[in-house]
Amino acid sequence: MEKAAFEEYLGTVHALLDAEGMYEAANLVREHPARTEQTGYDNWNGGTEIWEVQIEVPAHEFARLGAKRAQLEEQISARLKTVLEQDTQDWYSAKIVPQKVSHKDWRTAGVALPKQVRINILDGLRLTDMAWFGQLDDVEFLSRLFELEQLPSTDARFKNAAGDIWQHRINNDDWSRDWVFSDTRFNLVDGPAERFLRFLCEMVHPLVRPDREDVIEMVSLFNEQLRQAGWELYEEERIAGRPRFAYRRLTHSGSHVVSRARTVADALDAGWMAKEIERLEHAVERDPALAIGTAKELIETCNRVTHVLR
């Protein structure tokens, strides 16, 4: 099948899934590359080729989907049949597959973040009393990274991790707030570097932590430690005007300067600054006390974010 025609078919499949409210399947089709691979041939009815549309997702996303993959594959396959049956007698089905790892340093990438660096970051969170889950609860936050229904429970009353976390953190609240740092199911301190780094990125995701100042403070805290091991968090894109961070290896000594400058630029965003000044001006006559408080907050914020460049 020609690539242009294949893209048209996929676009139609996406439109059908979206119209029927199957948004997760629709997003998989739209956001990830797909390729076709012939997996068989049937002699029935003059000969039918059997094809697989392989949707490639990053390894961490593949693992997160877990048992849900089969349902998503069925949803996509059914719409593929609807779209293609008028034009071909060949059989097409969808298969979600892990994206191939192409970078050459994969053998060392997972072990290049020392245990002590991780401990320092987690201790820093304890000292600053920052809630790792932000404005979400523990289950909501961890479900964004892990398939909790596939992880075991430490409480015999529950089938999986989702159940015992809910019981002990939301229903009873008898676990300490930093319980996840030492939970072996998540293995943040001794597990793969990518798992720990994704956890840090999620902590400063706009949906998890919408407060700009908190994000700046946390990214600064993280990068102060990560750069010693040759890693950093950096702004990869924006969601509704707010930065979403990813992680990367440092390739040269100037990288951290650029990253810090971007963080400060976000904090001192012109639109934000203009709104604060306008708020200050309006308060001068009507509420002097509010004006003084606003001015103080503005100065403190500027001092805090410029500290990132030091």
277 vs 298: CA distance, rounded Å: 9
| Residue 144 DSSP one-character state | T
CB neighbours of 160 closer than 8 A, spacing ≥ 6? Answer: 148, 149, 150, 151, 152, 153
| 274: number of Cβ within 10 Å | 10
Q: Is the pLDDT of residue 268 over 90?
A: no
CB neighbours of 102 closer than 8 A, spacing ≥ 6? Answer: none
Residues 92-135 have pLDDT tens digits of 999 999 988 766 555 655 557 999 999 999 999 999 988 999 99
What's the mean per-residue pLDDT of the chain? 84
Q: Is the pLDDT of residue 308 over 50?
A: no
Whether residue 148 contacts residue 160, with contact meaning beta carbons closer than 8 Å, is answered with yes
pLDDT of residue 253: 44
At residue 254 the predicted structure's pLDDT band, cuts being 50, 70 and 90, is: very low
- Closest CA relative to residue 220, chosen from 261, 276, 166: 261
205 vs 93: CA distance, rounded Å: 34
CB neighbours of 236 closer than 8 A, spacing ≥ 6? Answer: 244, 245, 246
56 vs 36: CA distance, rounded Å: 11
Q: Give the predicted TM-score (pTM) of the model.
A: 0.55
CA distances from 159 to 142, 166, 185, 291 (A): 17, 12, 14, 55
| 11: number of Cβ within 10 Å | 13
- Higher-confidence position of 80 and 267: 80
